[in-house]
Chains A and B, each alone.
Chain A
Amino acid sequence: MSDEDRRPPGGGPLARGAHPRSPFGVLTLALNVIGTVLIIIIAVAVNSDIIGRNLFNQPIAGVTEFVGLSIVAVVFLQMANTLREGRHISNDLIMAWVGGSHPRVALFFYGVFHLIGVFLMCFIVWYVVPIFRENYVGNFYKGTAGVVQIPVWPFMLVVLVGGTAAAIQYLLLAWGEFRRFLGKKTQ
């Protein structure tokens, strides 16, 4: 299957022939790998708790809290790469119709859509900074005092890093769409 066949509507620089090994692409992949490892850790944690509880009468305290925090981290770690692969869910009834007769108009709008993504991601990051700081300074945790305490700030740090990467990825996607809109071929 050629890249062009895989091209999801309105996204996916891979499908547009971007370098899979561009420095930023490697970064998104690295974040993706960390997120992937975290998923494996979630699976191991849940199963260890089940096995520990049933076979050794020794459940693992804090699994509930840990997996709850981890899923947020997983989502933000995977965000940029999921974007890059064009795997976020979209429903292009209108643009498919517009693109049929006015492909340039559609390209312009896809560019605008990605810019909105940049804007929203920046906003999330901007307002998560105080949340991160508060958790770091206040030593806030999830769990039960005296039993298990999981600090929240590392997870918020991950949100900041993943959110920033996603903002950059949206910007690159918007750039690609606008270049095509202006008639220059990417690569």
Chain B
Amino acid sequence: AQDKISLTVAAGTPPRALLAVAKVGEFFIPEVNRRIKTAGINFQIDWKEAYAGSLLKQMQMLDGMRDGIASIGVVPSIFYPDKLPLEQLSFAVPFSTFDVALVSAIMNKLHKAIPEFAAQYDKFNQVRLGGSGVDSMELLTTFAVKSVDDLKGRKISTPGLALAWLRGTGATPVQGNMMEYYNSTRTGVYQGFIVMPSTFPAMKYPEVAPFVTKVGFGAQYATVLTINKDVYNKIPEAVRKILDEVGEQWGIETDKAHMNAAEAGYASLPGFKAQLYALPREEQVKWAKAMPNLAREWAQNADKEGLPGTKALAMFMDELRKAGVRPVRDWDKE
């Protein structure tokens, strides 16, 4: 039997910019090595790391992993709404929970319960080892936001997926990205943007948009770790099991790191002389009601494609409620 394999790990993002990538080098690789050694398995992995798009760009990850250009890859599932439609679920269910670990855990449960989830990756000749989310996404503005009404006529920038969260609010959505937020807000191209708190210290966003509103969009499932199926099948079963377990653990570690980073982000606010305001529940309800039923729309679209959208949505919401979350809007029951 083969007792040595060379695995190339790729990511389209640099480790410093995405905790999910950082945790591959800091946690996943050493932990897999450690467990193989502890288990006394005669198998050695020769790791090669290629991040920041040096081997595969963000939009090449899914196809490139299928073709075997890399063996293990950090796939930003949020950027593949067309190829990984079921993985977009959390974005269709805003105002759920701030607990990113809970969101990831529910998604892991869905993966185990509904075969169509794994089938998405099967199509691209991959096996999903684990999934992770990002800490909540919050609204940073140049003006105070106490209610959804304050957004009327204001230009707010968001990444593509979160554009839908501004539907019905009266705000003008401007598509943007993390790299533009700072300068474009300073010059006034828009008056605010939606971003993760963990990015505050490095990107200094609150300098230009000092009103930070905890709207409650909640944590989002965003990044998965996958392995090329041919490679996976070549690996001895004992090692495969380790990869599966450490893959899931990678998601948990990433989520934990995101929670810590978010805390550090909020802690940095006084240094920027920025103020934090959490929307009270009745204002959250008002915002959520202003939106069309995003979750229902999403589920019906998935159903049309022959995917279990409605079923996944119901299960997602049930799991939330089971965990004690009181959803701001019962998207699945309207």
Contact = CB atoms under 8 A, between A and B. Distances in A.
- Indicate if A touches B (C-beta under 8 A): yes
Q: Choose among A140, A141, A146, A149 the residue with the greatest number of B CB atoms under 10 Å from its CB.
A: A146
Interface in A45-71: 53, 57-59, 61, 63-65
B55 interface: no
A72 to B, nearest CB: 12
Size category, A interface:
20 to 34
A65 B172 CA distance: 18
A53 B85 CA distance: 30
A36 interface: no
Interface in A29-48: none
Given A146-B164, A146-B298, A59 B83 contact: no
22 contacts: A53-B174, A57-B153, A57-B172, A58-B172, A59-B173, A59-B174, A59-B175, A61-B173, A61-B175, A63-B175, A65-B160, A141-B81, A141-B82, A144-B161, A144-B163, A145-B298, A146-B164, A146-B294, A146-B301, A147-B163, A147-B164, A147-B167
A57 B169 CA distance: 13
Interface of B: 63, 81-83, 85, 88, 153, 155, 160-161, 163-164, 167, 172-175, 294, 297-298, 301
B155 A145 contact: no
A145 B88 contact: yes
A138 B160 contact: no
A140 B160 contact: no
A139 interface: yes
Contacts of B153: 57
Contacts of B175: 59, 61, 63-64
A148 to B, nearest CB: 9
B230 to A, nearest CB: 17
Nearest to B80: A140
B118 to A, nearest CB: 17
Nearest to B85: A145
Contact of B83 (A57, A63, A140): A140
A65 B59 CA distance: 12
B93 to A, nearest CB: 13
Given A140-B82, A143-B160, A146-B301, 17 more contacts: A53-B155, A57-B172, A58-B172, A59-B172, A59-B174, A61-B163, A138-B82, A141-B81, A142-B82, A144-B161, A145-B81, A145-B88, A146-B167, A146-B294, A147-B163, A147-B164, A149-B82
A141 B84 CA distance: 12
A62 to B, nearest CB: 8
A58 B163 CA distance: 14
Nearest to A145: B81
Contacts of A142: 82
